Amino acid sequence: MAMNPSRRPKPVEPASSDSETRVRNDHHDSLRLWLRLLSCSTLIESHIRQRLQGEFATTLPRFDLMAQLERCPEGLKMGELSKRLMVTGGNVTGITDLLEKEGLVSRVIDSEDRRAFRVRLTPAGQRLFKKMAAEHERWIIDLFDGLPVKGAQQLAGLLNDLKSHVRRQMQQRLETPL
C-alpha cells in the first residue's frame, strides 16, 4: 500500500535522545538492560505508530482495540476491552464512539445481560483490520529481519526467561505480608 505523501512519517529521533542515554557508568547492569529494552520497545512502537498513521490514517490505540475485537467475534463488553487494553473506560468509550461513527464497530445488546452491550467489528471493520494486520505483520518482520535467526531465537528465549522471572517476583511480593 502506498504511503500518502501528505502523511510522511516523522524522521526517527537520533539515538542520542532515547531512554538508554540516561545510563551512566556507575549504574547497575540490570538498569542498563532495562533501559535498552525500553529504548528498543519505544523505537519499534514509534515506527508502528508512524506507519499506521501514514498508511491508514489511524492510531495505535484504535488498531489495538480492533485487534482485541478481531480475536473475539462475539464481541467484548466495554469493561473487558478496558482491562485487555489496560486503559481507562473513558479512553475505550472515546475510541469506540469514533469507530462506531465510521461504521467499523457496532454495539449490540448482550444476550446474557440486557443492561449491557458488546462491541463487535462490523464487516467493514473486519475488512479494514485484516488489511492493517497484514501490513503490521510485514512491518514487524521487516524490523526484525536483520537479526540472525539464531540470535532472534536466543533473544526470544532470554526474554521469555525474563518475563517468567519478573512474574515470579511479582507473585512473591503479593504473597509476602507487609
Domain ranges, ordered by start, for the chain? 27-146
Supply the angle between the helices 29-56 and 60-71 in degrees, to the nearest 10: 90
Angle (CA) 157-17-64 rounded to 5° is: 55
Fold of 27-146: Arc Repressor Mutant, subunit A (1.10.10)
Q: What is the pLDDT of residues 25-59, one digit of tens each?
A: 777 888 888 888 999 999 999 999 999 999 999 99
Q: What is the pTM of this model?
A: 0.78
Model confidence pLDDT, tens digit, residues 88-113: 888 999 999 999 999 999 999 888 88
**Mean pLDDT, residues 15-31:** 68
Residue with more model confidence, 140 or 178: 140
* CB 1, CB 55: distance < 8 Å: yes
